[in-house]
Chain A
C-alpha cells in the first residue's frame, strides 16, 4: 500500500531564504506526482505536476524534482516571501493513469518578514 510522508510537519524561515520541502513515498511504481498549496480555510491549488518519466518541473520560483528509484520528491522555493506561507501537500498517483492520488499530510510553511 502506497504511503506518502512529508517531513517536517512545520517549517519557519526568514524572508528571502531558499528552502526545500520533502516528500517521500513507499512504492516507486508511480504514474505522476503533484504538489499543492493550501491556504487556511481554502481549497488546494495545484502548483506542479511531474510525470513519472520526468525528473523535474519548474514554475517561477518553484522547482519540483522527482527521484522514483529513491521514492523522493522535493519542492524548492527560491527567495521565499511572506506570501508563500501556506501548507504544501504532495500527492502520488500510482496504478497507472486511473490510479487514485495518495496525499501526504503536508508541511506548514511560515515565512517571517
Chain B
C-alpha cells in the first residue's frame, strides 16, 4: 500500500496565483485532513472531511477550499496565493477515531 500520497512535493507560486495540492489515500479511510505546519507554530488544521461529499472547516480555513468527490481523493485549493500561505502542507487520513496516517508533505513558497 502507498498510504497517503501528496503532490507536488515542492512548489513556488507568485502572489495572486492559484494552485491545487493533491492528496490521495489507498487505505479506504473515511476521514481525511489538511494541516499546515509553520516553524514554532505546530500543526494547524485547515479543512477535514468525514466522507465523500462532506467537508468542514478547521482552525485556519481562510484562503483555502477543498472538495471530496471520492473516498480516495481530497485536494486542497489555494485561490489567490499570499505570502502568509508559505508553509508545509500535510494531508492525513484515518478511520473514525483511529490512528492517523500522514503524507510526506508539500512545501509551498509564495513570493
Contact = CB atoms under 8 A, between A and B. Distances in A.
A46 B27 CA distance: 15
Interface of B: 4, 40-43, 45, 48, 50, 58, 90, 92, 96-105
Given A98-B50, A100-B58, A103-B43, A45 B102 contact: yes
B48 to A, nearest CB: 7
* Majority-rule SS of A interface residues: strand
A86 interface: no
Contacts of B58: 100
Interface of A: 31-32, 34, 36, 41-46, 49, 89, 91, 93, 96-98, 100-101, 103-106
Contacts of A31: 97
10 contacts: A36-B102, A41-B105, A42-B105, A43-B4, A43-B90, A44-B90, A93-B97, A98-B50, A100-B45, A100-B58
Nearest to A44: B102
Nearest to A46: B99
A11 B105 CA distance: 25
